[in-house]
């Protein structure tokens, strides 16, 4: 199964933990980070296959800050964690930028909090930014914005952040690089009878019973957070691989279809999960009516909905709401995520994208509903 899941993945989120990034807290591991960046660059360029889109979710800011501040153990006070993150983030971002530049790759630092993904507008803005970076061939390097988090909004571990990012960008796969070979039936450091788990179903309750607590004093997560992250990522159709981060060419070999680490398989395919979520919306905030030409493009060609094909807007909705798309007879032919609020959509009816900036004062997406965020329902 690994051979098909990773070989066919075109958008991949890679998460690497603090103990790997900082060599168990001894400082940023320049050689290891350089190796991962070399592999990321090769994936983006399509070395040995089709080009991939990759996002790196990297821990290490707090651990690097602790090292620079001379702290031997992770502090418990939130303001001390924030201070360590502020110090360490400088070196972490610089290291990734340097190592990706050595591979002639552009990089971007993106800091997120849970509040960014809980708020609809900020969620969509983060998604648009990341997708634009990927389209430009830039590798986003994401970390939790530890300098501003509180107990209420922090992710708690970057395994969860990796899964949320996978959901945010609708990744095909999440690869969690850790200091273990993968998942065992028990902790192999304590139980010599522990058996390696090559493959399982993401979300299987038995997996959680196998996992222990945090694995090191440097990182916050353990195998349980990786299992829960795989369960979360599976909700949007992304399968997860948990593998040893120092396995030679681990990312390239996974992309070639080699069986490395533990594969936790999502039971629902990416497109099916997203479309089912939209279909299952029982209460829609509004709808748009389209002309015959636009209806035909949606039904027959699978095109995006452009405002020039809209003739009317009903309801009160905001950007990111699921709305219905109706033909002139009132039949719902599709539904999807609105790129514009209802008030803006009314101004854009029958207008080409060249006029958006004049009408709204800014120009965002050219589509009212992008085809990737739409499910065509047909006659109902």
Binding residue numbers for substrate: 59, 146, 158
Is residue 269 scored above 90 in pLDDT?
no
The pair phi, psi for residue 320, each rounded to 5°, is 95, -15
Burial class, 360, CB count within 10 angstroms (exposed 0-12 / middle 13-18 / buried 19+): middle
Q: At 52, is the pLDDT very low, low, confident or very high (cuts 50, 70, 90)?
A: very high
In this predicted model, which residue has the larger pLDDT, 277 or 160? Answer: 160
Q: At 213, is the pLDDT very low, low, confident or very high (cuts 50, 70, 90)?
A: very low
Average of per-residue pLDDT across 357-373: 90
pLDDT digits (tens, 9 = 90+) for 79-95: 898 899 899 999 999 99
pLDDT digits (tens, 9 = 90+) for 218-267: 344 478 899 999 998 998 889 999 999 999 999 999 999 999 999 999 98
Question: Quick one: pLDDT at residue 26?
Answer: 79
Q: Which is it for the CA torsion 340, 288, 135, 51, positive or negative?
A: positive
CB 161 within 8 A of CB 57: yes
The pair phi, psi for residue 300, each rounded to 5°, is -100, -30
Q: At 152, is the pLDDT very low, low, confident or very high (cuts 50, 70, 90)?
A: low
Question: Quick one: pLDDT at residue 55?
Answer: 98
Average of per-residue pLDDT across 51-79: 90
Question: Quick one: pLDDT at residue 272?
Answer: 66
Question: Quick one: pLDDT at residue 271?
Answer: 64
Is residue 214 scored above 50 in pLDDT?
no
Q: Which CATH number fits domain 281-376: 2.60.120.680, 2.40.37.10, 2.30.130.10, 3.30.465.10?
A: 2.30.130.10
- Mean per-residue pLDDT of the chain: 88
Question: Quick one: pLDDT at residue 187?
Answer: 77
Question: Quick one: pLDDT at residue 361?
Answer: 93
Question: Quick one: pLDDT at residue 302?
Answer: 87
CB 22 within 8 A of CB 91: no
First-to-last alpha carbon distance for the chain, in angstroms, is: 37
Which residues of the chain are in CATH 2.30.130.10 domains?
281-376
Q: At 141, is the pLDDT very low, low, confident or very high (cuts 50, 70, 90)?
A: very high
The pTM (predicted TM-score) of the whole model is: 0.81
Tokens of 177: 């690089």
The pair phi, psi for residue 175, each rounded to 5°, is -110, 120
Binding residue numbers for ATP: 15, 178-179
Question: Quick one: pLDDT at residue 273?
Answer: 65
Which residues of the chain are in CATH 3.40.1160.10 domains?
2-272
Question: Quick one: pLDDT at residue 323?
Answer: 94
The CA distance from 207 to 315, in Å, is 45
Question: Quick one: pLDDT at residue 100?
Answer: 98
Binding residue numbers: 15, 59, 146, 158, 178-179
Q: What is the 3-state secondary structure (H, E, C) of the chain?
A: CHHHHHHCCCEEEEEECHHHHCCCCCCCCHHHHHHHHHHHHHHHHCCCCCCCEEEEEECCHHHHHHHHHCCCCCCCCHHHHHHHHHHHHHHHHHHHHHHHHHCCCCEEEEEECHHHHHCHHHHHHHHHHHHHHHHCCCEEEEEECCCCCCCCCCCCCHHHHHHHHHHHCCCCEEEEEECCCCEECCCCCCCCCCCEECEEECCCHHHHHHCCCECCCCCCCEHHHHHHHHHHHHCCCCEEEEEECCCCCHHHHHHHCCCCCEEEECCCCHHHHHHHHHHCCCCCCEEEEECHHHHHHHHHHCCCECHHHEEEEEECCCCCCEEEEECCCCCEEEEEECCCCHHHHHHHCCCCHHHHHHHHCCCCCCCCECHHHEEECCCC
Please, which contacts does 294-302 make with residues 24 or more away whose CB atoms are closer than 8 Å?
A: 295/327, 295/328, 295/333, 298/325, 298/333, 298/334, 298/374, 298/376, 299/333, 299/376, 299/378, 302/371, 302/376
Spell out the CATH class of 2-272: alpha beta
pLDDT digits (tens, 9 = 90+) for 292-349: 999 999 998 889 999 999 999 999 999 988 999 999 999 999 999 999 999 999 999 9
pLDDT digits (tens, 9 = 90+) for 4-19: 678 889 999 999 988 8
pLDDT digits (tens, 9 = 90+) for 106-126: 999 999 988 888 777 788 889
């Amino acid at each position: 199964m690994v051979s098909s899941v990773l070989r066919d993945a075109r958008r991949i989120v890679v998460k690497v933990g603090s103990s790997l990034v900082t060599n168990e807290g001894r400082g940023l591991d320049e050689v290891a980070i350089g190796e991962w960046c070399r592999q990321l660059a090769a994936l983006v360029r399509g070395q040995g296959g089709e080009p991939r889109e990759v996002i790196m979710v990297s821990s290490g800011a707090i651990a690097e800050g602790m090292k620079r501040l001379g702290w031997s153990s992770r502090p418990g006070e939130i303001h001390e964690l924030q201070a360590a993150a502020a110090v360490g983030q400088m070196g972490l971002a610089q290291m990734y930028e340097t190592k990706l530049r050595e591979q002639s790759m552009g990089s971007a630092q993106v800091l997120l909090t849970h509040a960014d993904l809980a708020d609809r507008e900020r969620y969509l803005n983060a998604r648009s930014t990341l997708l634009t970076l990927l389209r430009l061939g830039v590798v986003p390097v994401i970390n939790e914005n530890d300098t501003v988090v509180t107990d209420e909004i922090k992710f708690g571990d970057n395994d969860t952040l990796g899964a949320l990012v996978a959901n945010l960008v609708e990744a095909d796969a999440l690869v969690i690089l850790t200091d273990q070979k993968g998942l065992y039936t028990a902790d192999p450091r304590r139980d010599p009878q522990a058996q390696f788990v090559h493959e399982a179903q993401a979300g299987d309750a038995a997996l959680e019973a196998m996992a222990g607590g945090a694995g090191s004093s440097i990182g916050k997560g353990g195998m349980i957070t990786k299992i829960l992250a795989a369960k979360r990522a599976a909700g949007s159709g992304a399968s997860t691989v948990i593998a040893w981060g120092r396995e030679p060419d681990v990312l390239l070999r996974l992309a070639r279809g080699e069986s490395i680490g533990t594969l936790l398989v999502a039971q629902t395919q990416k497109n099916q999960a997203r479309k089912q979520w939209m279909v299952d919306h029982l209460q829609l905030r509004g709808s748009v009516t389209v002309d015959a030409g636009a209806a035909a493009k949606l039904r027959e060609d699978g095109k995006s909905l452009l405002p020039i094909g809209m003739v009317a807007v009903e309801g009160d909705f905001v950007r990111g709401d699921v709305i219905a798309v109706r033909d002139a007879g009132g039949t719902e032919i599709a539904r999807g995520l609105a790129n514009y609020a209802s008030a803006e959509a009314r101004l854009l009816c029958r207008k080409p994208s060249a006029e958006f900036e004049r009408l709204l004062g800014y120009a965002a997406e050219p589509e009212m509903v992008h085809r990737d965020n739409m499910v065509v329902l047909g006659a109902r």
